[in-house]
Amino acid sequence: MDVSRIEAISPRQIEWRKLTAPEIIKYEQQGVEVPSQYLQWAQEFLNDVNSGDSDETTFESANSQTTVAPSAESAATTTSSTDASTEPDEGTEVEEEPKTAAQEKRENMEASGATLIDVARVFIGDSRQVRGEALESAALMSTTAKLSNNEIQALDNYMKELLSKAEATQTELKNEVKSVNDGENDAGALGKINRLNSQLQRLGADGQANIAGVEGDLNVYESTINAQSGVILNTLDFGTETIGVGQDLLASIRGRGWLNLRALVFGVRAEASGHRAVNASETASAVQEASLSTNSDNISKAQSYKGELENVTGVAGIAVDTDKKNNSDEAENDPAKSNATETDKVASADLDKILKAKIRKGENVGNDQLA
């Protein structure tokens, strides 16, 4: 029903249960006599909804939370039978599963005397915060995967040109060697062979160094993506616990929701907020899996270039994870290498901070950001 055009209308013509709180208030403001129970619900509901919220909850949907309720006697019987069936044998030690951060926070609040409404209010805020963090992490991982693709694309272009030069040099070298073996060499043949061999070695060394650099960057990307697991799990933890708080709050007022509209409002909002956080966690988890797969494929491609280049030039690939002792010894004798080592240690953390800051600002992130 269009609330904005109210003329002479009887309250009996209106399906009050189908209206949201803002719609009920608008009828009241237009002079329609609103039944007291609906007006009281709308006022209480709007007073407890944050100013930034957009809640489309109707009277009917809000109060449907109170219609399905097992009796206390039934619940007690179920609990009793469950406890009896699962009771451990005497003398058997039962290890308790470690509590999550959200579970510990709720227990501490309740131990301090907080009501379920107090807990719900806090956990609604917590679930909103972790949801934002999860979505930010998803954006970070997506951006990192794009950087990984850009990195491998640049390597593809570089290796295509380098391998072309190396193969041409290798062919020329083989021809010169064949001429020498066939006895057709002149006085400068050996010098030319040495020059071509040196050129081939230089191309191989340059290429392997470039591949190792890209592989190192891809390893940093992998670390950055993996580092988001904590955010994803934390979001799932607080989202799940917020749902539980909402359900417990609604269960505590089943059958008498009219007596505590605030509990009804916060129960509904906690469940909804918790579900949004859980969904964000699942979204971020899917992005993480896809990003890791993309980066892993790129690492494999970079590593395949090592063997391809070695076959043409004879120069073996450079191991990215070098011996720590050798690195330490070299760093002591060379300050520049020492600085490089320290840079490698914080590369992943720096990338995480840089990308998150730029994502928050809405800036584009490309390879130039890593220079």
Asked whether residue 39 falls in the same domain as residue 160, the answer is no
Domain stop point among 22, 41, 64: 64
The answer as to whether 97 is a domain residue is: no
pLDDT digits (tens, 9 = 90+) for 45-102: 777 665 444 566 766 666 654 433 333 333 344 344 444 444 555 555 556 778 899 9
pLDDT at site 315: 84
Answer yes or no: are the C-beta atoms of 318 and 211 closer than 8 Å.
Answer: yes
CA distances from 35 to 8, 32, 301 (A): 17, 10, 71
Asked whether residue 58 falls in the same domain as residue 137, the answer is no
Answer yes or no: are the C-beta atoms of 62 and 45 closer than 8 Å.
Answer: yes
The answer as to whether 203 is a domain residue is: yes
User: Long-range contacts: 278-281, Cβ < 8 Å, 24+?
Assistant: 278/235, 278/236, 278/239, 278/240, 278/243, 279/239, 280/130, 280/131, 280/134, 280/135, 280/138, 280/235, 280/239, 281/130, 281/134, 281/232, 281/233, 281/235, 281/236, 281/239
Asked whether residue 31 falls in the same domain as residue 155, the answer is no
The answer as to whether 152 is a domain residue is: yes
Answer yes or no: are the C-beta atoms of 26 and 46 closer than 8 Å.
Answer: no
Asked whether residue 50 falls in the same domain as residue 131, the answer is no
Q: Where are the alpha helices (DSSP H) in the chain?
A: 21-29, 36-48, 59-63, 72-86, 101-111, 116-181, 189-226, 229-252, 261-313, 324-333, 335-361
Domain limits for position 34: 14-64
The answer as to whether 86 is a domain residue is: no
User: CA 84 to CA 284: how far, in whole Å?
Assistant: 41
Answer yes or no: are the C-beta atoms of 67 and 250 closer than 8 Å.
Answer: no
Asked whether residue 58 falls in the same domain as residue 205, the answer is no
Stronger pLDDT, 339 or 242, i.e. the higher one: 242
For the ranges 14-28, 52-66, 193-207, the maximum mean pLDDT occurs at 193-207
Answer yes or no: are the C-beta atoms of 19 and 45 closer than 8 Å.
Answer: no
pLDDT at residue 332 above 60? no
- The Cβ-side half-sphere exposure at 55, using a 13 Å CA radius, reads 26
- The Cβ-side half-sphere exposure at 65, using a 13 Å CA radius, reads 29
Asked whether residue 57 falls in the same domain as residue 156, the answer is no
User: CA 343 to CA 223: how far, in whole Å?
Assistant: 15
Rg of the chain, C-alpha, whole Å: 34
Asked whether residue 280 falls in the same domain as residue 184, the answer is yes
Answer yes or no: are the C-beta atoms of 299 and 218 closer than 8 Å.
Answer: yes
| Type of residue numbered 78 | T
Asked whether residue 274 falls in the same domain as residue 182, the answer is yes
The answer as to whether 337 is a domain residue is: no
pLDDT at residue 245 above 60? yes
The answer as to whether 106 is a domain residue is: no
Domain stop point among 49, 64, 79: 64
Take residue 109 and report the two structure tokens written for it. 């609040």
pLDDT at residue 201 above 60? yes
Asked whether residue 174 falls in the same domain as residue 43, the answer is no
Take residue 367 and report the two structure tokens written for it. 């390879």
Stronger pLDDT, 370 or 29, i.e. the higher one: 29
Find residue 58's DSSP bridge partners.
20
The answer as to whether 104 is a domain residue is: no
Number of domains the chain contains: 2
The answer as to whether 49 is a domain residue is: yes
Q: What are the phi and psi torsion angles at 20 (to 5°)?
A: -85, 170
Chain position carrying tokens 């040495």: 194
Asked whether residue 229 falls in the same domain as residue 132, the answer is yes
pTM: 0.63
Find residue 20's DSSP bridge partners.
58
Measured in whole angstroms, the distance separating CA 264 from the mean position of its chain's CA atoms is 32
User: CA 294 to CA 298: how far, in whole Å?
Assistant: 6
Instruction: Share the mean pLDDT of the chain.
Output: 76
User: CA 340 to CA 371: how far, in whole Å?
Assistant: 14
pLDDT at site 354: 61
Domain stop point among 64, 79, 106: 64
In order, the DSSP letters of 128-197 are HHHHHHHHHHHHHHHHHHHHHHHHHHHHHHHHHHHHHHHHHHHHHHHHHHHHHHTT---TTHHHHHHHHH
Asked whether residue 157 falls in the same domain as residue 299, the answer is yes
CB neighbours (10 Å) of residue 359?
Answer: 17
Asked whether residue 204 falls in the same domain as residue 280, the answer is yes
pLDDT at site 82: 43
pLDDT at site 175: 80
| Type of residue numbered 3 | V
